[in-house]
Amino acid sequence: MAILEILKRRKRRFYKSLVLGFSVCLVTSLISYMGYLEAFEAKALDALLWLRGRVRSPEIVLVQIDDQAFHNLGEKQPLPRAYIAGLIDTLHKGGAKVIGVDIEFKVKTDPRDDEMLLLAIRNASEDGLSKVVPVYIIRPDKEVNDTVLFTHSPFFSPKLSVVSGFANAPIDSDGLARQLPLAVRGSDGKILPSLALAVLARYAGYDAARLEAMMNRANRADRPDRVTLPLPEWDKFQGKLLPQPTPLSFEIDEHWKINFAGAQGSFTAIPSDPVFQLSKLKVPLAGDNPFRGKIVLIGASFGDSRDFFPTPRGLMSGVEIHANIIHTILSRSQIQTAQRWVGLSLSLVFALAMSLLLTLFRPMVATVVSLTAIPLLLIPLSYLAFARLRIWVDFVTPLLAIRWGATIADYLESRHVRRSLGQYVDYEVANQIVDQEETLSGQTRQATVFFTDVRNYTTLCEGRTPETVVAILNELFAMMSKAIKSHQGCIVDFIGDAVLAAFGAHKDDPDHAANAVATALEAQAELDRLNVTWQKRGIPRLQIGVGIHSGEVIAGIVGSGARKKFGVTGDTVNTGSRVEGLNKEFSTSILITRETVERLNGQFKVESHGEVKVKGREKPVEVFEVLGAEKAA
């Protein structure tokens, strides 16, 4: 109930905060929709992948041609085809279900080696179909109706007509490999599968012709970009593959976010040399060998292959990235981005929460609470959605909306405080108070103090209501304030019908004495114009006296507890007040002291009235009347 009462009293503040919050959320969501936050969102998803850690993927085994193997092969590229043929022979004998080869076969090499490779691929068969899935490289060829069509490099021999897929993955703007299209359109009208998709299609029993037919069924009129293939699926609850393939649907050219199983080394990896040596033996492999019934990928991991790419989980070889893509499809763990309205809804909900905080608490408290409590709630929710449901709920946009909203709220609040303080102190001082500058604690400065007093104030008050008198004084003070500020001065206080101002006290001003005198002359001239207006309204002519003195003052916040104000103190202030009172004695309008005259550099015409004994000082003060801005002869 107490909260509702506070909201009723502060409903205007609540509505303003709510409009601000909703506006910031909508703008931030629009910026995200336009893609300007993609880099931040990608990094956030990387963080969730890192938090989740490693997951098991026992159905995939890597055979890596490492630096030692490359050295033993004489460091030749292309890699000897006879060596790769030996690896395929061993894996076939070991009972591998599918053998993906992440090595290009686009150029002819030694004819004998090429024939050995073709023979090994042909012999590594099941039910008359080769288990081997080689790769090719695709390149953009042309663009038709805003769709990029690709061409691919042919194999070195037309005899190599098996299920195959493209190997190259796009790189994000920050240089990381995070996603891959499962299939793209070829410039010849065919649909080209990725290596991962081709490997799983071969696992499901597809040959090249059947896979091509199934892929190109996507060209039907009702869903021209939709492909559905029955593919193997890993049951994470039972820890094994389901007995029958299950349908997998995807869009052509749709980029899948790779759900990395972990950092480098997350898959079972075996060096290639021992595998090759087994090909020379004429004995069968043990039934429980690590290849039986597995998806085996052959690829390069030696440094000179240059087949390494940065990923969210660190630097990885190309073959390991393909293993992660296969893992993503096999486990049906593709990272799906939540609908935009989900992120927008979250932003709006938290904007409402922040509006309540800004209404119930001070802006600083509300900002601190919102920037700590809300992320502590939002990020775990996003992680749970990612880890359990494999849905990427963007928490970057809501967090940025909260942060920007808090920044704007702080700015608006500080501006409101500055404007409010500016009604009581100079805006320069108000800015320093809001910014909490240390100079406000009190500093000794060389400055000029400026006192004014209305001469015929009693006459003004006669026969007039207090409201009328205050209105007239406000017109006078408004004119004085404008003159003082235009010459870099600072109004320190209004004392009844008097004004105390200072020049050079709140900020450095080497011309503080000249500015004070110029202000006095401008104020007298403006008062003459005001008097003309007032006389038309039946208001008697007003006169003011100005006293100016220069010297050392202490400027800063004075007071204690809850009652403080900006002020100037010291003998200079007292003397300036006494000098202003001498205007009655000498029938003058502007009096300044010797200390001020010495700082004017002859900019104004003055006339000495001699030394005068003033109250509060033992030493007499020499005073001068300011006659105008003309320079002395």
Question: Block means of pLDDT (10 residues each) for the chain, length 633 residues?
Answer: 65 70 70 66 67 74 94 91 95 94 93 94 92 94 87 91 90 86 90 94 92 73 75 80 88 85 88 92 83 94 90 91 91 70 69 71 68 68 63 63 65 60 52 48 83 83 82 88 89 85 86 93 92 88 91 76 69 90 90 93 90 85 88 46
Side chain identity at residue 24, one-letter code: V
Three-state DSSP at 181 gives strand
Q: Give the span between the Cα atoms of 479 and 466, in whole angstroms.
A: 20
Q: Which long-range CB contacts under 8 A does 359-365 form with residues at least 24 apart?
A: 359/6, 359/7, 359/10, 359/13, 359/14, 359/17, 360/3, 360/6, 360/7, 363/409, 363/410, 363/413, 364/410
Instruction: Render the burial of 291-303: b for 16+ CB within 10 Å, e for the rest.
Output: bbebbbbbbbbbe
Q: Give the span between the Cα atoms of 368 and 54, in whole angstroms.
A: 34
Instruction: Render the burial of 349-374: b for 16+ CB within 10 Å, e for the rest.
Output: ebbbbbbbbbbbeebeebbebbeeeb
Please, is 399 exposed, middle or buried when counting C-beta atoms within 10 Å of its C-beta (0-12, 13-18, 19+)? Answer: buried
Q: What is the pTM of this model?
A: 0.59
pLDDT score of 295: 94
- Nearby residues of 272 by Cβ (< 8 Å), 6 or more positions away: 63, 64, 65, 66, 69, 83, 87, 298
Alpha helix stretches (DSSP H) within 361-395:
363-389
User: How far, rounded to the nearest angstrom, does the alpha carbon of residue 357 sit from its chain's CA centroid?
Assistant: 23
**Phi, psi at residue 366, to the nearest 5°?**
-60, -40
Give all domains of the chain, ordered by start, each with its CATH number: 16-33+352-421 (no CATH), 58-330 (no CATH), 437-628 (3.30.70.1230)
pLDDT score of 89: 94
Three-state DSSP at 300 gives strand
pLDDT score of 588: 92
pLDDT score of 561: 54
Query: How many secondary structure helices (H) and strands (E) does the chain include?
Result: 19, 30
Length of the chain: 633
Three-state DSSP at 86 gives helix
